[in-house]
Structure 1
């Protein structure tokens, strides 16, 4: 079984992801894979430098993510070029990792942790979709505190993503992460039990 986990910026998705892993889920982290496919020596990084120039590299040959991010932020044409290079490689690597896990344990619950699960079309490739939800005001407060942003900057980042209330329409399970950790953990345990029941046909 493949369960897709998504949320919004500052929704606490990483915390929820760790809770599922502690219960036995096998994690495939899209952000981690996205870093892997553009490491020095990869075709992904070669293609990025061919399109965006070698000045997106640090002195040690690693990708300078901040510089690349500044290059594409607010420029849909440049972002589309970046996504066309990175996204297919991420999808292929995630599929490969998932195949390896399920070949080793056909009954495993593979958790795809993907920020843009819905926007990127990957929601169609998972068996269930789990959304980590918080009210927008909680996102705003957390983002300002965590990243040292002004309210305007934080809201711009939140508004650049699909609203969480819109993502709810795609979700089989919603975890409300606006309370304390115990409340979140209780919800995660309930969803985990439901996933195990679905897997066994209970």
Structure 2
């Protein structure tokens, strides 16, 4: 709940995490490495990725899901959502955007399509 303390913690932890992620990427023997990082945009790690795929949900739905999952009041959940970058930031930074409100079969087809397009762009 204290932004200054959070910034201090992030300034200590995020560089170490970035180093670890970069090492994992460099040591990988695969053509594609997927980095799942909710903090990717906020931490400024876009430089580590060729593409960014984002999954968004309306804030009201996020509050509902966090309240249910973490047994929080709606007010507590809203504070957590408000502490995160808005969906607009993710959409602007992303090459591919998904919405978790889509039906599962549609989401699967969109993921498959994006995955195949990515593989076709590889040398």
TM-score, structure 1 normalization: 0.57
Choose the corresponding residue for 2:51, options 128, 137, 142.
128
Matches within 5 A, 1:112-191: 112-191=35-114
| Partner SS for 2:41 | coil
| C-alpha displacement of 1:184 | 1.8
Partner residue in 1 for 2:23: 96
Runs (5+) with no aligned partner, structure 2: none
Match of 1:86 in 2: 13
SS in 2 for 1:132: strand
- Return the alpha-carbon distance in structure 2 between the equivalents of residues 142 and 80 of structure 1: 26
Give the distance between the partners of 1:91 and 1:166, measured in 2 at CA. Answer: 20
Write 1 or 2 for the structure with the bigger share of helix: 2
CA RMSD in angstroms, aligned pairs only: 1.4
Q: Structure 2 CA distance, aligned partners of 1:156 and 1:198?
A: 40
1:167 CA displacement:
1.7
Secondary structure of the residue aligned to 2:52 is strand
Determine which structure has greater relative contact order: mean sequence separation of CA pairs < 8 Å that are 6+ residues apart, divided by chain length.
1
TM-score under structure 2 normalisation? 0.91
Give a deviation string over 1:147-172, Cα, whole Å, max 9, x none: 11111111111110001123211111
CA contact (8 A) 2:22 2:48 kept: no
Deviations 1:90-114 (A, max 9, x none): 111111111110xx23xx1111111
The count of residues paired between Structure 1 and Structure 2 equals: 123
Q: Deviations over 1:101-137 (max 9, x none)?
A: 0xx23xx111111101111000122111111011222
Spell out structure 1 runs of 4+ moving beyond 4 A.
none
Q: Which has the larger radius of gyration?
A: 1
- Give 5+ residue unaligned stretches, structure 1: 1-73
